[in-house]
Amino acid sequence: MRFPAPVSFRAQAFIIGAASLAVVALAALIVRDVVFTTEAKLLGDALRRCETACRELASQVRERAAYAGDPLEQLPRQALEISLKGISSTVLQAFPGIKGGMYLPAEDAVSGYAYPTAEEEPEARPGLSGMETDFIRTLAARAGAADAMVSGSDWENRDLIVGAAVRSGGMVLWTLRRVPVLRYPLIGTHRWWLIALGFSTLLGVGGIVSIWYRLHSGVRSIQKGLRRLEDDFSFRLPSVRGDLGRVARDINLMAERRMALEQKLRQQDRLAALGKVVSGVAHEVRNPLNSIKLTLQLLERRLKKGVAASTEVAECLEEIDRLDLIVGRLLAFGRPVMTHRHVQDIAPVVSQAVKMVHEPMQKKEVRIDLDLPRGELRADVDAPQIVQVLINLLLNAIDASPREGVVTVRAEAEGGRVSIRVADGGSRIPDEVRPHVFDAYYTTKENGSGLGLAVSREIVANHGGSLQFESEDPGTTFILTLPEERGASDAA
C-alpha cells in the first residue's frame, strides 16, 4: 500500500511539526496517566491499610474490655489515654505512617497516636492539623450514624488524607494517613526536566519552521533563477548557504558549461557554414568562369582568323553580370538587414508578391488561390522585405507544383499574430533534406543559389516573426508568422 507523499515543504514541515507535538503530547498524557493511576493505587492501598488498622484497633479495645470491668469511656482522660496509648502502641506499630486514636463525641475531644515507621522512634502524640481534626470529626459522625466502619478521603494542601473510623461503645476509633500526591513532588523534583522538555519542544518546532522557511525560500529562489535562466542564459543563480547553495552552484556550473559548449557549437556551425558558403560560392563562380574561359578561348581563335566576335564578347559580359549578381547576393546575405517597419494592411503586400510571380506562374500554368480575410489584416512589417520573402516562397511553391497545379495563399490572424500560409501541391520534402531547408547555399535545384529560404528566414526573424514548414504527401506548406504590432512578439 502506497500513501501519497506530501509534495510541498510546507506540508512536510507541517506533518513533522504536528508529529513532534503529538509525540510530546502523547508522552505527557502517558506520564499523567501513570501518575494518576499510581496515585489511585496508593490511595486505595492507604485506605485499605487505614481500615485494617482501625479494625485491629477496635479489636484490641474489645479485647481489653473482655478483661476489664471499666468501660474505657468512663475513665478519666489521663487514664483513658494511658490505655489507648498502650493499645495503639501495639497496633499502630504494625502500620507505619498511620495515625490512630479515639474521638469522644460527648466531649468533642480528639486524641491521636502515631508511629510513622517501625524503625523510627514512636511519636507519642503527633500534632493533628485542623484539617485532620475536622476530617476525624466528619468520619466519626458518619461512623456513629452508620454503626459500621466508614472510610473516606480529603485534601489538605498538596496531601491527601485518607482515614477510617468505627464506633466502639461511647467513642469512635479512628485511623488516618497522609498520602503525598505524586504529581506535586514529581513536578517539584522534575521541574527542570519539564522546563527542558518544553524548551526542547519549542526549539524543535522552531527548528522545523526555520528549516521549512529556509528550504522554501531557497527552492523559490532557485525556481525563479531557473525561469530567468531560460530567457537569459548569462544569468546566474544567487549564492545560497547550505545544501541548496550547492545545488545553485551546480546549476550555475552547468549553465557555464552549456554556455561554453554552445559557443563552441556556434563556432563550429560558423565554420561549417563558412565551408558551405565557400563551396557554394566556388560552385557558383566556377560555372560562369568556365563559361567565360571557353568563350574567351573561342574568341581568341576567331580573332586569329579575323572573324568578328561580338557574340562571344556579349556572352562574356553576360557571365560577368551573373558573377556580379552572385557576389551581390552573397553580400546581401552577409550584411545586417535594415528594416523600415510600420503597422500596415498585409493584403496589398501579399497581392504585390503574387503579381511579381505572374510570369513564372503562367510559364508553368500554375494557378494561385488567394484567400485573404475581409477587413484589414494589419501587421508591423517592412513591406518590400516581406514581398521578397513571399516571392521566394511563391517561386519555390510554383517550382514544386506540378504543371497546372494550384498554389494556395491564405492569410489570417491568430493570437495577436498574422500568419500567411503558402501551400503547394508538390511532393513531400524528403526527411534527409528537412534539416537543411533553411541552410544557406543548400539547394536541391539545378539553378538554385540556396540563399532564398535562408535570407527569407533572416528577414522574418528580424521582424520578430517565424518561418516554418509542414510537409506531407502531397504538398508542402510554408507558414510565415508576423506580429500584428511591434513588441507583440516580445510580449508573447
Residues of this chain that bind another protein (CB under 8 A): 59-60, 63-71, 73-79, 82-83, 85-87, 89-91
- 107-113 own/partner pairs: CB under 8 Å, 24+ apart: 108/137, 109/77, 110/136, 110/137, 111/81, 111/84, 113/84, 113/85, 113/88, 113/89
CB-nearer residue toward another protein: 49 or 178: 49
Read out DSSP for 235-266? Answer: --PPP-SSHHHHHHHHHHHHHHHHHHHHHHHH
User: Taking Cα atoms as reference points, which of 95, 94, 93, 71 lies closest to residue 83?
Assistant: 71
Q: How far is the CB of 104 from another protein (least distance, A)?
A: 11
Q: At its nearest, how many Å lie between another protein and the CB of residue 91?
A: 7
**Please, which residue, 65 or 323, has the CB nearer to another protein?**
65
With respect to another protein, which residue has the nearer C-beta, 76 or 336?
76
Nearer to another protein, 74 or 217 (CB): 74
Q: Which is nearer to another protein, 105 or 360 (CB)?
A: 105
Query: Distance between CA 368 and CA 492 in Å, rounded?
Result: 32
Instruction: Give me the least distance between CB of 33 and another protein, in Å please.
Output: 42
Q: How far is the CB of 94 from another protein (least distance, A)?
A: 9
Query: Which of 84/377 has CB closer to another protein?
Result: 84
Of 59 and 201, which CB lies nearer to another protein in the complex structure?
59
Radius of gyration of the chain (CA): 56
CA dihedral angle for residue 326, residue 327, residue 332, residue 335, rounded to 10 degrees: 150
Nearest distance in Å: CB 176, another protein: 21
State CA 484 to chain mean position distance.
Answer: 38
Q: Which is nearer to another protein, 75 or 395 (CB)?
A: 75
Least distance from C-beta 50 to another protein, angstroms? 18
Q: Which is nearer to another protein, 89 or 263 (CB)?
A: 89
Residue 84 beta carbon to another protein: minimum distance, rounded to whole angstroms: 10
Tell me if 483 sits within 8 A of 386, measured CB to CB: no
Total count of residues recorded for the chain? 492
Instruction: Please report how close the Cβ of residue 85 comes to another protein at its closest, in angstroms.
Output: 7
Shortest distance in whole angstroms from residue 154 CB to another protein: 30
Count of CB atoms within 10 A of residue 143's CB?
24
How many angstroms separate the CA atoms of 271 and 46, rounded? Answer: 102
Distance from C-alpha of 171 to C-alpha of 73, rounded to nearest angstrom: 7
Instruction: Write down the residue that cell numbers 500526591 correspond to.
Output: 181
CA distance 39 to 43: 6
Least Cβ distance, residue 76 to another protein (angstroms): 4
Indicate the Cα dihedral angle 163, 169, 170, 171, nearest 10°: -20
- Are the C-beta atoms of residues 171 and 105 closer than 8 Å to each other? yes
Contact yes or no for 103/171 (Cβ under 8 A) = yes
Contact status, residue 323 vs residue 446, Cβ threshold 8 Å? no
Cell 581568341 -> residue: 300
Smaller CB distance to another protein: residue 75 or 273? 75
Q: 147 — alpha (psi -120 to 50), left (phi > 0) or beta?
A: left
CB closer to another protein, 85 vs 421: 85
Whose Cβ is closer to another protein: residue 79's or residue 274's? 79
Q: With respect to another protein, which residue has the nearer C-beta, 89 or 267?
A: 89
The Cα 291–Cα 102 span in angstroms is 147
Minimum distance from residue 46 beta carbon to another protein (Å): 23
**To the nearest whole angstrom, how small is the minimum distance from the Cβ of residue 146 to another protein?**
25
H or E segment and range at residue 280? helix 243-305
Q: Specify the amino acid at residue 471.
A: S
Tell me whether the omega of the peptide bond preceding residue 474 falls within 30 degrees of 0, making it cis: yes
DSSP per position, 20-56: HHHHHHHHHHHHHHHHHHHHHHHHHHHHHHHHHHHHH
